[in-house]
Amino acid sequence: MVSLKELKTQFLEYIEIERGRSLKTVENYDHYLSVFLEFLKQDNPSDVNAETIRQFRLWLNRKLTGNNKTDKSETLSKKTQNYYLIALRAFLKYLARQEIKTLPAERIELAKVNERSLDLITQTELKRLLESPKGTDLKSLRDRAILELLFSTGLRVSELCSLTRDLDLRSDEFSIRGKGGKVRVVFLSEEAKKHLRNYLSARKDMSDALFVHTGNEVKKEEVGHLTKRTIERIVKQYAVKAGISKKVTPHTMRHLFATDLLSNGADIRSVQALLGHSSIITTQIYTHVTDKHLRDIHKRFHNKN
């Protein structure tokens, strides 16, 4: 009988090579499954049963984080607990495909979590944010192009960082490889294309990266792709400059992209495809925005006679 530890190694290799998962995802799954196997203290797949899962869930629910083991408020969040369960379900599905007898993955239900609230900014605030890089210097041109591109495409910040300067601005669209190696098409607005052209025409360096460090940000010989942290700092800087009190991140721009589409009549399946979500469940966090939009319509137009 192949041990659970050996099967875990095979599973991690499978999701990396066959499923094209990122190394970060593989690393996370390795951590979650290692914690489970350490808790289980058994190495036979048949030892994974309803009772051991019940005990593991109790252990997760009571597990404390940080160094202060007396603070009961520092238990794992339901969302974090679900990360362990999602990894475990994926592992059990893999075992079932290998015809190894163990607990069926569907027997593991995820913990109920509070619905995510989206702390969005208004259209007026968005306009101020997009227009806040006002200079004609390279940094201002770059930063305006970054903000416009984020709102036009709904790109993840990691996807934005990976772009190269050979982007074809004669076209309204381009392909991007997202999570899990999945390729999707995103679209450029005329405003985004205009500011990208302005920025690229001012570039004097030879770097292949679309967005690079400028001026005093980094030594000249280190010019290259901006990091996720740098993009986050740029967005935060202009949100403050625009007088926006809410926290604004590159992911906020992605939220704004999605809610703008839905509020203007786009269907949720199309928005799912544009965002690159593998599951419609992930996209459904945005339906509350359109629900609010419908409530506003109802208040404005219902029973006005």
pLDDT above 90 for 112? no
The answer to whether residue 304 scores a pLDDT higher than 80 is: no
Choose the catalytic residue: 251, 292, 295, 298. 251
Give me the catalytic one of 29, 84, 238, 286.
Answer: 286
286 annotated active-site: yes
In the chain the first and final C-alpha atoms are separated, in Å, by 76
Q: Is 195 a catalytic residue?
A: no
What is the pLDDT, as a whole number, of residue 66?
58
Query: What average pLDDT does the segment 43-64 reach?
Result: 90
CB contact at 8 A, 90 and 30: no
Q: Above 50 in pLDDT, residue 42?
A: yes
Q: By percentage, how much of the chain surpasses pLDDT 70? A: 87
- The one catalytic residue among 8, 89, 144, 156: 156
Structurally, at CATH architecture level, domain 123-299 sits in: Orthogonal Bundle (1.10)
Q: Which two tokens stand for residue 1?
A: 């009988």
Tokens of 181: 């190696």
Confidence label for 295 from pLDDT (cuts 50, 70 and 90): low
Half-sphere exposure of 148 (CA within 13 A, CB side): 22
Catalytic residue, chosen from 93, 139, 165, 179, is 179
Q: Is 156 a catalytic residue?
A: yes
CA angle 269-272-278, nearest 5°? 115
Catalytic residue among 193, 213, 225, 254: 254
Average pLDDT of 92-109? 92
Cβ atoms < 10 Å from Cβ of 137? 12
**208: which 2 tokens?**
């292949």
Domain 4-107 adopts which CATH fold? DNA polymerase; domain 1 (1.10.150)
Q: What's the pLDDT tens digit per position in 198-230?
A: 999 999 989 999 999 887 665 544 567 899 999
Domain boundaries, the chain: 4-107, 123-299
Question: Is 179 known to be catalytic?
Answer: yes
Is 225 an annotated catalytic residue?
no
CA angle 121, 122, 126 (to 5 degrees): 80
Alpha carbon distance 249, 139 (integer Å): 19
Average pLDDT rounded to a whole number, residues 1-18: 91
Q: What is the reported pLDDT for 264?
A: 84
pLDDT score of 298: 66
Confidence band of 84 (pLDDT split at 50, 70, 90): very high
Render the burial of 75-114: b for 16+ CB within 10 Å, e for the rest.
ebeeeebbbbbebbbbbbebbeeeeeebbebeebeebeee
Taking residues 228-252, report their average pLDDT: 94
Per the annotation, the verdict on 194 as an active-site residue is no
Contact 258, 269 (CB under 8 A): no
How high is the pLDDT of residue 182?
85
